[in-house]
Amino acid sequence: MINKGKLPRAHSATELFSLNNCTLCLPGASPPLLEIPRLQIRSGERLVVTGPSGSGKSLLLSMITGRWAAELDYAGTRTSGCERIGYIPQRGQDALHPLMPLGRQLRKATGRSAQDVAETLAAVGLDDPQLLQRRPAELSGGQAQRAAVALAALSSAPLILADEPTSALDEASRDKILCLLDTVVSAQKALVVVTHDPDVADTLATRRIQLDSGKLRDDPAPALQAVPA
């Protein structure tokens, strides 16, 4: 059972990323597919983006990463203090190399030691040594999603994005992944999660925004001082 009403965590927040007067649109089309007047992301935040299907949630992640479809026109100011941005997809297998054993690919992708990889996999519940030798296709959906969380946690990226990371999971697996996202991704990193599930926002968010038809309906600026938990 997930806990609702999460309070913001105490941290010394610094701005990692911002969007100002940004739009994505089809050439010559109006209105824009996505319009973001202003959005700031600070270290330590757990920002949850909600909205119905087609509201622009995945487009927002594309705008943050700077990787949108070639046919779209972009305008605005995108400011990033992040050399790397981590990404957790809807399906964990999509974050992993299909042919490389799990342990080796996590070491190669992150440059971390075998001990760090084993400890992080154990922290996400993948503590069976045999899993290190398995390829992604040999993992269950839940195991692959945990491995994707471990990959993000092991990375040096100060900003982690997660695109509907619990949509393909049952309720029990969803709750475990939410706990892992909040605890395994370090408190110094910012985490942005897009979801249509209000329970995800209730559980994880220290701040939330909503998209509707490509427009940002609710964007309170991040507090300069977080409220202690």
Half-sphere exposure of residue 44, counting CA atoms within 13 Å on the CB side? Answer: 17
pLDDT band at residue 12 using 50, 70 and 90 as cut-offs = low
Given a contact cutoff of 8 angstroms between Cβ atoms, the answer to whether 83 and 72 are in contact is no
Q: Are 66 and 53 in contact (CB under 8 A)?
A: no
Instruction: Give pLDDT, residue 224.
Output: 39
Q: What is the pLDDT of residues 135-179, one digit of tens each?
A: 999 998 889 988 998 998 898 899 999 998 887 777 877 787 788
Which pLDDT band holds residue 181 (cuts at 50, 70, 90)? confident
Q: What is the pLDDT of residue 1?
A: 40
Token code pair at residue 43: 């270290």
Mean pLDDT of the chain: 85
Looking at residue 85, its pLDDT comes to 92
- pLDDT in the model for residue 101: 94
- Residue 226 has a pLDDT of 39
Sign of CA dihedral 168, 170, 173, 179: positive
- Looking at per-residue confidence, does 45 or 222 come out higher? 45
pLDDT score at 218 = 60
Which SS3 state, helix, strand or coil, does residue 196 take?
Answer: coil
Beta bridge partners of 105: none
Q: Is the pLDDT of residue 221 over 80?
A: no
Q: Tens digits of per-residue pLDDT, 105-123? A: 999 999 999 999 999 998 8
- Tens digits of per-residue pLDDT, 24-82? 999 988 889 999 999 999 999 999 999 888 899 999 999 999 999 999 999 999 999 88
d(C-alpha 85, C-alpha 65), whole Å: 7
**pLDDT at residue 211 above 50?**
yes
Nearest to 145 by CA among 94, 100, 82: 94
* Calpha distance 210→72 (Å, rounded): 22
- CB-based contacts of 47, cutoff 8 Å, min separation 6: 41, 190, 191, 192, 193, 205, 206, 207, 208, 209
